[in-house]
Amino acid sequence: MNLNELKHAKLKKWVEEAVSLMTPDSVEVCDGSQAEYNRMLQITVDGGIGIKLNPEKRPGCFWFHSDPSDVARAESRTFIASKKKEDAGPTNNWTDPAELKETMKAQYKGCMKGRTMYVIPFSMGPVGSNIAKIGVEITDSPYVVFNMHIMTRVGSKVLDVLGSDGFFVPCLHSIAKPLGPGEKDTGWPCEPDVNKKFISHFPDTYEIWSYGSGYGGNALLGKKCLALRIASVLARDEGWLAEHMLILKITNPQGKVKYIAGALPSACGKTNLAMLIPTLPGWKVETIGDDIAWMKFGEDGHLYAINPEAGFFGVAPGTSDSSNKSAMDSIKKNTIFTNTGLTEDGDIWWEQIGHGAPGETITNWKGEKVPSPKTDKSPAGQEIAHPNARFTVPASQCPVIASEWEDPKGVPISAFLFGGRRPSTIPLVNESKDWVHGVFMGSITGSEITAAALDLKAGTIRRDPFAMLPFCGYHMGDYFGHWLKLGKKAKDEGKGDKLPKIFFVNWFRKNADGKFMWPGYGENSRVLAWMFNRCDGADNFIETPIGHLPKPGSIEPPADVSAETMAELIKVHVDGWKAEIADVRENHYPKFGDRLPKELYSQLDIMENGLKAL
């Protein structure tokens, strides 16, 4: 499709303005076809940027390695440019939107010379769903086009739904590498100077402008930029939820089904939970989504969720048959691998894949040939795969994808699950007393980290409220208030009993010897079963000052977890909780100022008074 065929006047005008500013040699409106996907891949292969993997080992798969300056989300160059600085809040980088646009326009000027401008109409969520939103990304990167084909629903069918006057989120992107006459790319095209990269969000006008990066969420603007940062603002303005949550379908031995949405900070087992293989006999877990959930209230009062994405953009290192077999099975074909190792026989490899690399040499993520590791580990500083190496794969290829994953009306959520990596204090599972208490639990979510991880004091808690710290597009105090407002509205309408229950989990408790007390992985199904039964009103809990904890014996422990260990995992650790409350009161909540809802401070008082009685 060419530009003149666009029926949406506002969209056509926006694209024409971008053409005038960026001066590409040609313009293509993406149709979403398989032929287009194949052609984009071939462009990168012909240009020496991509390599087709061995079709006997990885049919339909391709390998890329990026510039060393372009390997992950550029958080320091990610901006929330609201008109008022205070609306961005303390957890975001703020820049004046008018000044930022002038700066970026100067950089955008002529940035696509010698290249093709691709216009990508895409739907976040099943096309036509009342929970879905439409975006249009302008880019000069074929790599972005075929990754967007996998991660979203692209093409003419989206324009049909958009019509002549529908709402869309405009997403501008350029890799910032114009080409002179006869000039070709000699490597991964991007702006290598990190200080010239911009990933900018304009929440007052629902716009995204990205410049200089060609990788991941910096360039695939449907990912974190639209699906969370801008969508969180849309959700606030329109009365729904856009969350950094997986969505699980759980079926019990009697065939009863429930859906749970879960938010976990990084390194807390989110992807493994999304594709969990239960060890508990008779239970079944399937995936609706592994990363993002959009949720709206239905007429019946239940909260319905869709996965707005069409693919998985997963971290490769650490993924293996033992840690996540479903993910490994998903990526056997039709997958884009970026910054993994490339083996001599045309396959991929990364650290902790479960085996050494075949052959004498391997190409690392920098494109260098080095000796093949004989085990699945590499010396520190000599990693074959970048720690943020990724695979992009259609969700439809996941062997545990649920049949409802593309249902346009969404699935009804029975429970929310928050969690963190906490070696002490936080119990294995804790149910909130009510909605307000649940929002409180989400607001204090955090993980303890080591000095090696972020150069912080060992044992420091990095708070990541709702696992949304890098992704909330506005003031987080207002975000907590939005959750409280939705709960109050449901109760005022007599539908409070339809609200999801809220739980907090912690798979990472350690004993005095520093050993994990709970085996995790598939054994987490035992905790999910307890939650499932609580959603049905089971009398399997005891009331405590911190919430509802499992009754002794209500969670059947794995064979290697003793009764004494189980009791330790589900008790109230009074001194630890007193320290937790003090940390929240002194270090966490004050940063949100007068925008932190008073109800959350009240929860601290209620819990503190309850603990005094123990």
Catalytic residues: 268
Residue written as token pair 């606030």: 236
How many Å apart are CA 570 and CA 100, to the nearest integer? 50
Which letter, b or e, does each residue of 47-75 get, where b requires 16 or more Cβ atoms within 10 Å of its Cβ?
eebbbebeeeebeebbbbbbbebbbbbbe
Secondary structure (3-state) at 84: coil
**Where do runs of H (alpha helix) occur along 333-475?**
435-443, 451-454
How many Å apart are CA 8 and CA 348, to the nearest integer? 43
- Quickly count: other Cβ atoms within 10 Å of residue 540's Cβ: 18
Task: Look up residue 76 and give its two tokens.
Answer: 């320091």
Task: Look up residue 170 and give its two tokens.
Answer: 């405009």
Whether residue 6 contacts residue 158, with contact meaning beta carbons closer than 8 Å, is answered with: no
In sequence order, what DSSP letters do the residues of 271-286 get, joined into one string? Answer: HHHHT----STT-EEE
CA 467, chain centre distance (Å): 9
Which letter, b or e, does each residue of 138-155 get, where b requires 16 or more Cβ atoms within 10 Å of its Cβ?
bbbbbbbbbbbbbbbbbb
Strand 50-52, strand 133-139: pairing? unpaired
Which element (helix H / strand E) includes 341?
strand 341-343
Whether residue 297 contacts residue 310, with contact meaning beta carbons closer than 8 Å, is answered with: no
